Structure 1
Amino acid sequence: MTADKPTDFDDVLKNFNVFGRYHLVFLFFTFFAFAANSVFCNNYVFAAQEIGYRCSDETFGKDACYSIGNDNRTIRCTEWVYDNPNSFVAEFQLACQEWKRTLVGTVHSFGYMVGLLVVGPMSDRLGRKLTLVITGVLGGLLGLARSFTTWYWLYIVLEFLEAAVGDNCSPMFILTIEVVSTKKRALFYVLCGFGYTFGGIMLPTAAWIFPYWRTFLRVIYTPALFFFLYLYAIDESPRWLLTKGKKEKAITIIEKAAAKNKIEIDRAVLEKLQYEEEKSIRFLELLKMTFSSKTLTTRCLICIIWWTTSTFVNFGLTINSVSLQGNMYLNYMLMSLVDIPGNIIIIYILNNFKRKMPLITSFIVGAVLCFSQPFIPSYLPWLSISFYMAGKLMSSFYFSITYMFTSELFPTYTRNSMHALCSSIGRIGSMVAPQTPLLMHYWPGLPPLVFGGVSLVAGLVTFLVPDTADNSLPNTVKQAEALGNSITLKEHIEEKGKVNLAFSKEDTGINLVVNRESNLSRL
């Protein structure tokens, strides 16, 4: 790399191997942040698990709330005997109030939905690292506070607050994709994503070892207090620093990373880093600039469909897994372990088949598997479970691709905000997912049919977006609008063999300059 021309930041990142010392350390800390997110998002499955109960009056049947007296009057039970008297349901006296138990998961998802609208802009303003530290520590404190409350509605409020301001997944994810080059982005994110699988194994393990729900919450939330160490363990995103005009700090981090990886990057090259500096604009103005583009507005709506489908189906299948035959802890682990081969496969797919077609395929195949589920003969449980696991695998595929694809479709100055906005609204899916077990009272095959329907719709709308696999992350609205077009145009002209192509960055984005027999024309 030479210092005789302006330097693109992505060209600098190409010098780094994701298996170098610097990125391996970063991967280690990202792994545990994602594992914590996996544990915190779904802990209600075990903390507020379904428990059997019966009225202390033996004239009532098991789980019966009412009985008919001798005078034909309806009598409501007032005293209950629970299968597990130390359970969440028993301590809060939730017999015959199943909606209060499932409300815990819905409130968590609603809190996460609201929180993303706060955490996303916070990350764009305060920085990725500081935001993930603040949210990580707050999550631990609020989770621990829940383990001590004896009032149900206070528990619900704390559940909401913990999800709203105590989840560091969004800033951690954006930081992850901003510290690697375009070509290595998919590989690095998927490697970090194994943290979700690890968390999915540790959650039922902790619940199995510590069945009392208060002890369980204290065990899983106490480690979150150590997120303050991330202030010293990892660096801020150099890409974010550049947009804030802090070039010297960005250069210092790059040089530090280069020293750890034992590579040399000419200081003069770094001094010529070309990056559009973000102006001091309020969050609403930034969103207005983004939504002024019809192209980006359409993409936002499509991303919301992706997110709603991904959260609804993925969380729905996970929650319903504890109702399958067998040990619920092992069933949950099995659902998480499916992600291991899934992540390995997704690395290969994203590196060889880009983004768009894998996303469409996983949505549609997932829909077919869900549609098939209710019609599998009951005397073939192994086949039913196989289809169920395959459907979960497809949902993991499109959830992972959605995470990355969304972040690549928007410009840097609103990337985290737009990612958070789409993810936030899409959490409507995870809000509804905890209620899907109630559909089984009408027909056991209804939940998978609903999962299949929304997956099919999401797959079809994906045809409306461009592929981003070969593009650098866009910095401006113009660059974001041009995604998928500039590469196609370049390839088309180069096929003619008569032109030379050059790209130049200006304030409005990327302009293509075509040199044809010494005559310059701008397209």
Structure 2
Amino acid sequence: MSKETPLVGLDAILKQLGPFGRYNVLNYMMLLFPCFLAGMYGSVFVFEASDINYRCEISECESSQDSTWLEHAIPMEKDSPAKCTRYAFLDDISANSSCPANIFNRNRTEKCSSYVYSDEDSAVKDFDLGCQNWKRTLIGTIHNSGLFLSLPLTGIISDRFGRKRALAIASLMNCTFGFLRSFSTTYIMMVIFEFLEAGFGAGAYTTAFVLAMELVGPKGRVFGNTLINVVFVFGLMTLSGLSWILQSWRTLLRIIYPPALLVFSYLWILNESVRWLLSKGRNDEAIEILKKAAKMNKVQLSEQDFTPLYEMETTKEKKEKDDDEEKKVEPSLFIQVLRSSIIRKRLVVCSYLWITCTFVYYGLSINSVSLAGNKYVNFMLVAFVEIPANFVCLCVLDRFGRKRVMIIMYILSACLCIGLSFLPKNQMWLSLIIYLSGKFSITVAYSSVYIYVSEVFPTKVRQSLLAICSSTGRIGSTLAPLTPLLALYYDNLPAIFFGTLAVIAGMLVFTLPETINVQLPDTIEEAERLSRARSEKNLA
């Protein structure tokens, strides 16, 4: 009971303030800006180290005015000169002004030692990464691996020192390491700054998200969450548009990262989360902010409305005392989970679902630049399709249930991805439509999994187990940048791989219980009862 009183009091005040008052709108708009920037920062590596055209350098023939020697010096692959191999010379020769066909042995090839790059801009060209695709794709993997550091680090700072401080520090790190990366002189220097920027700055998005959710009342959270997702997508589309216009990855970094300094200024102009202040016993500061919000929203609040908040200190002390007593009796979280085979299996399945979502979601975005047609337009379209997907998710989850929606979306995504390999190569538009449909379905599945995981675990361990699933899911986003390497063996191999994982995920959802219109479980026993109820229903 003590735990509920202050929260009910605060939610009652937020309800009176309204979800769309002037105070809420102004502060929410400020928080949308770092979410917009996060959309660009999270995928900028796609355009930093994009694959470009290049060929072997034949130093003995490069000075020739006639380029017809190329067809005799370099074998053809997929209707274009090979990137990594060349024909060997019949004998050692010196520079030749014409390089006739009879000096090349077309029965023997050898690996290139140097390359001639196109006029396209990329780190591949700047750092001479020709035929080292693993190095090129590793840039994205190193960037995403920084999330394993940033999420817990920013969470600790946010819970201990406040939301706006965590947001300001993360944004400063984004600006500093992102801007410095544009001056990289070596590949090693670039990947170090890539990791540092994500490792210390990627938490800006999650902190802004938490601040935004704590700003509005319960009725405004669903719309607010959708709005954040839409703004994030606009960030992705802006990134692609700027890359298309600038055609310089260094200039791109120097334009998109300095605006993060504006977010650093939130340290002085943004109000702290009222919920965080109350959790730290700083009731007076929290009440002053609520009074300021009431004044801006032109809402009259009486001192009686603040009574539960004034009493919170006593409640907090009692709660801490109760928690200490519970800790002496109850086993640790890890032991509780291990003792329940149902929760243990559920945790493994949900972690796999999360890994599949991040792997396929990011994989389709990254590989979109390899599709036929304009890579910038393709990336924009693959990003834009997330907007209707998020709105569809809101409509179908409460109508058809979490389980049914996840099964359909996983299987649909799998069929669409695998189906790409059966299309003729000249069906460019049909391939793009199917590709976009695959991204649409996995986006709905991703949003559904996020909601489902928060409903299927008991209250006492919900946040911790959700964090385990989320952290495990980062494995998928870390490996996704490496999937373009699969296309070196077969163009549609990445899509087939995505589809295979999605099929398995869809099958695993059958083992989980439905949570629509079911009260959230508070204990492990209640969570286990969800699965038992499903089994009893099937037997009946």
Q: Considering the TM-score relative to the shorter chain, is it more than 0.5? A: yes
- In the TM superposition, 1:16-415 aligns within 5 A as 16-57=17-58, 58=61, 59-61=73-75, 62=81, 63-65=83-85, 67-70=87-90, 76-84=111-119, 86-167=121-202, 168-273=204-309, 289-294=332-337, 300-349=347-396, 355=402, 357-406=404-453
Give the Å deviation of 1:75. Answer: 5.2
Deviations 1:186-236 (A, max 9, x none): 221011211111101110111112111111111111111221122244333
Task: Kindly indicate whether the alpha-carbon contact (under 8 Å) linking 2:143 and 2:198 is maintained by their aligned counterparts in 1.
Answer: yes
Partner of 2:512: 464
Partner of 2:538: none
Distance 1:485 1:400 in 2: 25
Amino acid at match of 2:112: C
Tell me: CA distance 1:468–1:141, structure 2 relative to 1, closer, same or farther (3 Å). farther
Distance 1:241 1:415 in 2: 23
Amino acid at match of 2:229: G
- Larger CA deviation: 194-203 vs 400-409: 400-409
Distance 1:404 1:340 in 2: 17
Distance 1:255 1:183 in 2: 21
* SS of corresponding position for 1:331: helix
Q: CA RMSD in A?
A: 3.5
Structure with more of its chain in helix, by fraction? 2
* SS of corresponding position for 2:299: coil
Amino acid at match of 1:464: L
Task: Kindly indicate whether the alpha-carbon contact (under 8 Å) linking 2:134 and 2:485 is maintained by their aligned counterparts in 1.
Answer: no
Give the Å deviation of 1:355. Answer: 4.9
Distance 2:44 2:206 in 1: 19
- Larger CA deviation: 136-145 vs 237-246: 237-246
Which structure 2 segments of 5+ residues have no match? Answer: 62-72, 76-80, 92-104, 534-540
Deviations 1:336-356 (A, max 9, x none): 221222233234345656655
Partner of 2:483: 436
Give the Å deviation of 1:297. Answer: 5.7
Amino acid at match of 1:68: A
Give the Å deviation of 1:258. Answer: 3.0
Give the Å deviation of 1:464. Answer: 2.6
TM-score, reference length from structure 2: 0.77
Distance 1:33 1:242 in 2: 25
Distance 1:314 1:94 in 2: 27
Distance 1:432 1:6 in 2: 43
Distance 2:405 2:524 in 1: 21
Distance 2:402 2:16 in 1: 24
Task: Kindly indicate whether the alpha-carbon contact (under 8 Å) linking 1:177 and 1:189 is maintained by their aligned counterparts in 2.
Answer: yes
Tell me: CA distance 1:11–1:349, structure 2 relative to 1, closer, same or farther (3 Å). farther
Distance 1:365 1:464 in 2: 19
Partner of 2:78: none
* SS of corresponding position for 2:275: helix
Give the Å deviation of 1:391. Answer: 1.1
Task: Kindly indicate whether the alpha-carbon contact (under 8 Å) linking 2:401 and 2:514 is maintained by their aligned counterparts in 1.
Answer: no
Deviations 1:11-39 (A, max 9, x none): 44333433322222233123222221111
Amino acid at match of 1:25: L
Deviations 1:447-479 (A, max 9, x none): 22221232233344445366388868x9xxx46
Task: Kindly indicate whether the alpha-carbon contact (under 8 Å) linking 1:290 and 1:297 is maintained by their aligned counterparts in 2.
Answer: no
Distance 2:303 2:529 in 1: 34
Tell me: CA distance 1:409–1:437, structure 2 relative to 1, closer, same or farther (3 Å). same
Tell me: CA distance 1:421–1:45, structure 2 relative to 1, closer, same or farther (3 Å). same
Tell me: CA distance 1:186–1:19, structure 2 relative to 1, closer, same or farther (3 Å). same
Q: Please identify the structure whose Cα radius of gyration is greater.
A: 2
Task: Kindly indicate whether the alpha-carbon contact (under 8 Å) linking 1:316 and 1:436 is maintained by their aligned counterparts in 2.
Answer: yes
Partner of 2:100: none
Tell me: CA distance 1:87–1:378, structure 2 relative to 1, closer, same or farther (3 Å). closer
Deviations 1:140-179 (A, max 9, x none): 1100010011011111111011111111112222223333
* SS of corresponding position for 2:209: helix
Distance 2:17 2:201 in 1: 32
Distance 1:175 1:468 in 2: 27
Distance 1:328 1:150 in 2: 27
Distance 1:45 1:186 in 2: 31
TM-score, reference length from structure 1: 0.80
* SS of corresponding position for 2:258: helix
Which structure 1 segments of 5+ residues have no match? Answer: 490-523
Tell me: CA distance 1:343–1:21, structure 2 relative to 1, closer, same or farther (3 Å). farther
Amino acid at match of 2:307: E
- Larger CA deviation: 171-180 vs 357-366: 357-366
Task: Kindly indicate whether the alpha-carbon contact (under 8 Å) linking 1:356 and 1:466 is maintained by their aligned counterparts in 2.
Answer: yes
Tell me: CA distance 1:447–1:104, structure 2 relative to 1, closer, same or farther (3 Å). same
Distance 1:386 1:137 in 2: 39
Deviations 1:374-407 (A, max 9, x none): 2344454333222211111112223334445555
* SS of corresponding position for 1:325: coil
Amino acid at match of 1:435: L
Task: Kindly indicate whether the alpha-carbon contact (under 8 Å) linking 1:48 and 1:101 is maintained by their aligned counterparts in 2.
Answer: yes
Deviations 1:488-512 (A, max 9, x none): x9xxxxxxxxxxxxxxxxxxxxxxx
Task: Kindly indicate whether the alpha-carbon contact (under 8 Å) linking 2:402 and 2:514 is maintained by their aligned counterparts in 1.
Answer: no
